[in-house]
Amino acid sequence: MADVARRAGVSMATASRALSNHPHVAAETRRRVLAAAEQLSYVISPEASRLAGGTTGRVAVVVPHLSRWFFATLLDGLESVLREADLDVLLYHVGDADDRRDFFHRLPARRKVDAVVVLGMPVADGERERLESMGVHIVAAGGQVENYPYVSIDDGEAGRQAVDHLLLLKHRRIGMIAAVDPTEPGWPANPGRSRAYHEALAAAGLPADPGLVVTVPWGGLSGADAMARLLSLREPPTAVYAHSDEVAFGAIHTLRRAGLRIPGDMSVVGIDDHPMAELADLTTVAQPVREQGTAAGRLLLSLLSGAETGGGLTVPTRLVVRGSTAPPRR
């Protein structure tokens, strides 16, 4: 930068001000500095800038399952608005319990970022403490973290939409395939989505039959297993509500293999509106995933600019009826 200043015939102080768009710099001076910088193809050193300035211009994004569509899409949305704002994204993938422990213990992002975004995972109390010890802004998206400014869907509402749809079709024996995160043994299956099932059945005056609920680790293969278990019941359901589309895909696979017709012999509904759902002709409750990412990004931006953005933002879900649901066979 000294070179630039010299070439523009100003002091470093002025050069710095001109380059970072400070007020109180004469237009002509600024022009000269910018021209000089251009000619020397000068690029500011972020390290030095941050050292002197205080902020890092970076945001840590913590994500538990990078290769799953939901998380990757969330990240996609988030990254796009952060990039727009010239913030860099530091990616931390905490795949399994070990990674997770390590991340919260060592806090590799400490001192490296201005904020942390937690994508689609609950944060335990001890973890929250560690996170807060970093002294930066924290935002959550796509999960059920109420302790921070967050963006998320209403899982209860989503589940209700799915189950009510089946009830409206006059199904009376409805199974649920609940999915737990395989890498976090401690956590229960998505509580909102489970509760919605029980509440909707109760509201319809239907008896609760624990045998109709199967809980499996998340994933397509598990969904297939779960469906097999439901089929082996003395009196199988006529419809199945899966916690997510991927799980539903597994269920469909089992049904096909068993020679059952969808929706003739069994209706299936999922949650997510995974891109593959359209191809699988799956009725599902759509949630705007990418938008949750962008909304979280904007939330973070306003936080960084000093706003006192309090609570969270709940985005709407909507039922998408396709060919996998129909009234039960008489």
The interface mask with DNA, positions 7-46, x = CB under 7 A, is --xxxxxx-xx-xx-xxxxxxxx------------xxxx-
Asked if 195 is part of the footprint of a copy of itself (rule: CB under 8 A), the reply reads: no
Asked if 51 is part of the footprint of a copy of itself (rule: CB under 8 A), the reply reads: yes
* Residue 25 · residue 17 · CB < 8 Å: yes
- Going by their DSSP bridges, the two strands 239-242 and 174-180 should be labelled as parallel
* Residue 114 · residue 56 · CB < 8 Å: yes
When the beta carbons of 9 and 182 are compared against DNA, the nearer one is 9
When the beta carbons of 20 and 80 are compared against DNA, the nearer one is 20
Residues 52-91 close enough to bind DNA by CB under 7 A? 52-54
Q: Residue 244: name the closest of 317, 146, 169, 149 by CA.
A: 317
Among 35, 48, 202, 208, indicate the residue that binds DNA (CB under 7 A): 48
Asked if 13 is part of the footprint of a copy of itself (rule: CB under 8 A), the reply reads: no
Q: Which does 305 bind (CB under 5 to 8 A by kind): a copy of itself, DNA, none?
A: none
Among 40, 51, 66, 258, indicate the residue that binds DNA (CB under 7 A): 51
Give the number of other CB atoms < 10 A from CB of residue 205. Answer: 7
Asked if 143 is part of the footprint of a copy of itself (rule: CB under 8 A), the reply reads: no
SS3 at position 189: coil
Give the number of other CB atoms < 10 A from CB of residue 316. Answer: 11
Spatial separation of the C-alpha atoms in residues 226 and 93, rounded to whole Å: 28
Please work out, in degrees rounded to the nearest 5, the angle formed at the alpha carbon of residue 266 by the alpha carbons of 321 and 258: 130
Q: Which does 7 bind (CB under 5 to 8 A by kind): a copy of itself, DNA, none?
A: none
> Alpha carbon of 204 to those of 95, 119, 197: distances in Å?
40, 35, 11
Q: Sign of the CA dihedral 203, 207, 210, 211?
A: negative
Q: Which does 29 bind (CB under 5 to 8 A by kind): DNA, a copy of itself, none?
A: DNA
Shortest Cβ distance from residue 315 to a copy of itself (Å)? Answer: 18
Shortest Cβ distance from residue 154 to a copy of itself (Å)? Answer: 23
Spatial separation of the C-alpha atoms in residues 247 and 244, rounded to whole Å: 5
**Residues found near a copy of itself in the complex (CB under 8 A):** 43-48, 50-51, 56, 58, 61, 66-69, 71-73, 75-76, 79-80, 83, 86, 88-93, 95, 108, 110-112, 220-221, 224, 249-250, 252-253, 275-276, 278-281, 290
**Residues found near DNA in the complex (CB under 7 A):** 1-2, 9-14, 16-17, 19-20, 22-29, 42-45, 47-49, 51-54
